[in-house]
């Protein structure tokens, strides 16, 4: 049986605003930290987008290598990157 993986919710289910972290908990010593912490930019991306960024870093930023490894054309990879850049800009503006 596959292991159940919880997905980190990024948006408020009620009003669609980005969620903040209110409480952090240490599972070893039971320490709790309270506050209001914004989620890092990277975490706010989908799993697919995060994987894309990791691939980009692993291939030293070479889109040609990425295209080769992913088995897709160069402009398709470049378009994915451009769409991601646009999404990051939008997240930063919010």
The tokens 């506050």 sit on which residue?
35
Task: Report the Cα–Cα distance between both ends of the chain, in Å, rounded.
Answer: 40
- Residue closer to another protein by CB (options 50, 76) is 76
Least distance in angstroms from the C-beta of 79 to another protein: 4
CB 53 within 8 A of CB 84: yes
Token code pair at residue 9: 């919710």
Among 9, 13, 35, 71, binds another protein (CB under 8 A): 71
Residue 47 engages another protein in binding (rule: CB under 8 A): no
Interaction site with another protein (CB under 8 A): 71-76, 78-79, 82-83, 86
């Amino acid at each position: 049986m596959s292991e159940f993986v919880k997905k980190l919710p990024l948006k408020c289910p009620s009003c669609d605003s980005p969620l903040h972290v209110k409480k952090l908990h240490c599972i070893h010593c039971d320490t709790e930290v309270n506050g209001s912490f914004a989620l890092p930019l990277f975490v706010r991306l989908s799993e697919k987008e995060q994987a894309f960024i990791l691939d980009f870093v692993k291939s030293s930023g070479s889109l040609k290598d990425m295209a080769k490894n992913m088995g897709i054309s160069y402009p398709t990879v470049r378009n994915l990157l451009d769409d991601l850049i646009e999404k990051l800009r939008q997240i930063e503006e919010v």
